[in-house]
Amino acid sequence: MADERHGADLTPRPQLRLAALLALSTLLFVPLLVHYLEPRALLKVLPFYGLAVALGAAVLLATYTSLGTRYAERLSLLFVLGLTSDLLVYLYVKPYATPTYPAIVANLLTCLLMGSAALYSWRTRRTVLVGAMMCVGFALVSAILSSRGLPGAPFGLAIGSLVAGVVTAAASARVIERFRTSLAQRQDELAALSTRLMTVHEEERRRVSRELHEELGSSLTAILSYLWLFDRQRPEDLGMLRSRAADARRLVAKTIAEMRELSQGLRPSALDDYGLLPSLDSQVKEFTERHGIVATFTADGVPERLPADIETAVYRITQEALTNVVRHAGARHVRVALTAMDGELRLEVEDDGVGLAPKRKNGELGTGLIGIRERVRALGGSASITSGSGAHLCVRLPIPGARAVRA
């Protein structure tokens, strides 16, 4: 049976095993019963302890079989209903062993319901359904006992407390369900991000290896050949020597440019040398030249230098956002704005493209956007993206106090 919890494939078998052990723990009370109860009363009580123990033992054994794995959800429901029936029959047989028995049984049922909802991660609907069955069963036992001349007031109060407990359990189940849904979504996003990071890492290693082998390797091989020719060139071949030297200089310049581009891809030196604003301005201009999309960059009140982790995050977030524009937006214009105000850094990337895909409008983010959000959360900020006539990404990051200038 499919697990009812969102985003999880594990069955509640460990929780069921724990609950069965708790049911078996009722054996600890048997010596007390033998000591304090009369033989006649003991004979009436022991069968109910025996039923609880038998049910717990059966469930515990089932958790070690394929049955407990395949039908753990159903087994947990039957286990709770079995314990409920045992308590209700116990109440029917001995309603007034003490005047507070009805209230005690009602409290036990409430605890059983709340514990089961939390332990087995029940949805609100199942919690309400089981709680309603408990209330109906308790009311039937109360009606039967009242018809036999037993006072009904304690039963009425007990039913009221049971109903209140069911409402509380349902509300708690709703809260737990939301938390588990949110947690499962975060786990799925982290798994997707982890996969994305490993893929990107491997692609980057492959790209660096290929460029080192194909571009730099071939250029250095050609330079080595020219140097070999220089060593063997005759003095009368001065013109040819100069031509070879010019070719070698061009290859060296090309190799240096390729090495610089490769280095920039791994870590932009401008970010370390000049700071965030010149790096973003250069990035936006290069984006326009490479993709033919008109991109503008503005900055206002941004400190001259920011902590390295913030500068790196803003640079990479902008890089990822512009990459998404190229891949998905179909835009003609992009606006990048960076503003610092009241100790907060705000980055906006807005385009006039087609907007977000339907699944992203519904909250399902792509790995690029998940990566952006993870970077932002790691720095204690927030990120939001809206879609209309284009997409609008807004990132807010807290920044330490720094001297602000107009850019």
What is the gyration radius of the CA atoms in the chain, in angstroms?
A: 36
Residue ending a domain, among 266, 287, 313, is: 266
134 and 71: one domain? Answer: yes
257 and 290: one domain? Answer: no
- The answer to the question of residue 103 being in a domain is yes
Closest to 12 measured CA to CA, from 120, 110, 165, 139? 120
Q: What integer pLDDT is reported at residue 338 of this predicted model?
A: 94
81 and 109: one domain? Answer: yes
- The CA-atom distances, in angstroms, between 243 and each of 219, 221, 227, 247 are 17, 18, 12, 6
- The answer to the question of residue 251 being in a domain is yes
Is the separation of the CB atoms in 233 and 241 below 8 Å?
yes
What b/e string do you get for 212-229 counting C-beta neighbours within 10 Å, with b at 16 or more? eeebbeebeebbeebeee
306: three-class secondary structure by DSSP = coil
- Give pairs for 214-223: CB < 8 Å, separation 24+: 215/255, 215/258, 216/255, 216/258, 216/259, 216/262, 219/251, 219/254, 219/255, 219/258, 220/255, 222/247, 222/251, 223/248, 223/251, 223/252, 223/255
- Chain position carrying tokens 């013109």: 239
- The answer to the question of residue 75 being in a domain is yes
Closest to 340 measured CA to CA, from 311, 308, 366? 311
- The answer to the question of residue 3 being in a domain is no
129 and 233: one domain? Answer: no
307 and 373: one domain? Answer: yes
155 and 32: one domain? Answer: yes
CATH of residue 302: 3.30.565.10
Neighbours of 205 (CB within 10 A): 10
Q: What integer pLDDT is reported at residue 235 of this predicted model?
A: 58
* pLDDT tens over the chain, length 407 residues: 334 333 333 456 777 777 777 777 777 766 766 666 667 766 777 787 788 888 888 888 887 887 777 777 888 888 888 888 888 887 887 765 555 578 888 888 888 888 888 777 778 888 888 888 888 888 888 888 877 776 655 677 788 888 888 888 888 888 888 887 888 787 777 767 766 776 676 577 667 766 666 666 677 777 777 667 666 666 566 677 677 777 777 777 777 777 766 666 666 667 777 888 998 998 899 889 888 889 999 999 888 888 888 888 898 899 888 888 888 777 888 999 999 988 889 999 988 887 776 544 444 455 567 778 878 888 888 888 887 778 889 999 988 654 444 44
Structural domains in the chain (count): 3
378 and 235: one domain? Answer: no
Closest to 53 measured CA to CA, from 33, 73, 69, 37? 33
Host domain of residue 229: 197-266
12: three-class secondary structure by DSSP = coil
Is the separation of the CB atoms in 20 and 72 below 8 Å?
no
386: three-class secondary structure by DSSP = strand
- The answer to the question of residue 404 being in a domain is no
Residue 173 contacts by C-beta under 8 Å, 6 or more apart in sequence? Answer: 117, 118, 122, 123, 124, 126, 127
187 and 205: one domain? Answer: no
Q: Which residues pair with 394 in a beta bridge?
A: 348, 384
Q: What integer pLDDT is reported at residue 361 of this predicted model?
A: 44
User: What is the distance between the alpha carbons of residues 142 and 144, in angstroms, rounded to a whole number?
Assistant: 6
- The answer to the question of residue 5 being in a domain is no
